[in-house]
Amino acid sequence: MEGVSLLNFLDAPFMVIDPDGRAIYVNPSFEKRFCPDGEKVEGQPLVTLFEGGGREAILKAVADVCEKGTTVRFRMREGSRGFLGLASPIEAPGAEAGRVGVVILLNDEPAIDAKLQAVHREIDEPLDEAMTCLEQLIDQTGGRRNELFRSAVERGMAALVRAKKWTDELDVALGGRSERVSIDARFDPVRLIHDVGARVADATGDSGVTLDLLVPAQLPGAVGDGDVLEAALVRLLRLRMAKAEPGTAVTLAARTLGSGAQRALLVTVVDRPRTVDDEPDEREPRSLCEAVSPHGGRVHTVRRGRAGRATSLRLPLA
């Protein structure tokens, strides 16, 4: 058992899972991180040792190892901590042919400087704003029919798409939010709505399009990354206000709906586009879905011709 005794001195949490998905060994580092109350781990099913997004990540990694028979790298979060995981197959002595056990090593995810994350968001926002301006330009100058305007604007838009690609790569390099699920993320919906309104107050332009905020004085906290959701809503509102019928208002509203365990937060953007056949911007659903789907949220858009359209985001309450 010399190997096991050496594992007892390993700083990173380490565990061995048998072919039936039960923990047959965990080192002291695992017990310290995940079992602070001293509860017994050996013999417990893997599904009971973790919660929320962390449980989903580690179960998927184990399933991939068992299916492919190869080492799998994965990310997971447990509480406020992030881990870079390594799951590898092992032969289970005496087990049926083709069945394997799994060893799992969890290293602390390197801390990402909050300022660097903020810089990424600040770079991303003007890129989207510049894209919106070019879309307005090509619409308002007849650029799609004018070869000179169309060529210049399309080159500019292509350059912005390339820049956006690299900001997305930066997001992944920083431990991209699209790959990380934090069940502890919470935000104040009332503050979020007012912050979004303040950031798009300068987007009315000369068309007379205004922004109306409909939000009660108090709302319960909701599950999600408030910074990411705020950035997605700002992008959406700027696009919608740029394409809205002159003299109309774009409405941003928030309220709760449902009851009991089904109670949720509903954030809605309502607008009247200039043209009935206004094509949806593919960046809208992607940006919004990336903001809410990791936390169990949903996005839905309804169009009612000249009456306008409504995009709703539904998020679970904290």
- Give pLDDT tens digits for 46-72: 888 887 778 888 888 888 888 888 888
In this structure, the answer to whether residues 205 and 285 fall within a common structural domain is yes
- Choose the final residue of a domain: 86, 108, 130: 108
Q: Answer yes or no: are the C-beta atoms of 143 and 153 closer than 8 Å.
A: yes
Q: N- to C-terminal Cα distance for the chain? A: 46
Instruction: Tell me which of 301 and 267 has the higher pLDDT.
Output: 267
- 191 shares a domain with 164: no
168 and 203, same domain (yes or no):
no
pLDDT in tens, 8-61: 777 888 999 888 888 888 888 888 888 867 778 888 888 888 877 788 888 888
Q: Are residues 233 and 171 in the same domain?
A: no
Residue 214 and residue 253 share a domain: yes
Describe the chain by its helix, strand, coil percentages, rounded to 5: 45, 25, 30
Please tell me whether residues 220 and 301 are part of one structural domain.
Answer: yes
Question: Where are the alpha helices (H) located in the chain, listed in sequence order?
Answer: 2-7, 28-34, 52-68, 114-140, 147-173, 189-199, 226-242, 283-292
Amino acid identity, position 285: P
- Choose the final residue of a domain: 57, 80, 108: 108
Same domain, 196 and 313: yes
75 shares a domain with 12: yes
What is the number of domains present in the chain?
A: 3
Domain that holds residue 196: 181-318
Is 203 found in the same domain as 169? Answer: no
pLDDT at 183 over 50: no
CA-nearest of 153, 219, 158 to 186 is 219
Q: Looking at residue 89, which CATH number applies to its domain?
A: 3.30.450.20
> Is residue 276 located within the same domain as residue 311?
yes
- pTM for this prediction: 0.48
Cα gap 194→240, rounded to integer Å: 18
Residue 281 has pLDDT above 60, yes or no: no
Sequence-ordered list of residues with C-beta below 8 angstroms from that of 64, at least 6 positions apart, any chain: 72, 87
pLDDT of residue 295: 78
Q: Are residues 236 and 283 in the same domain?
A: yes
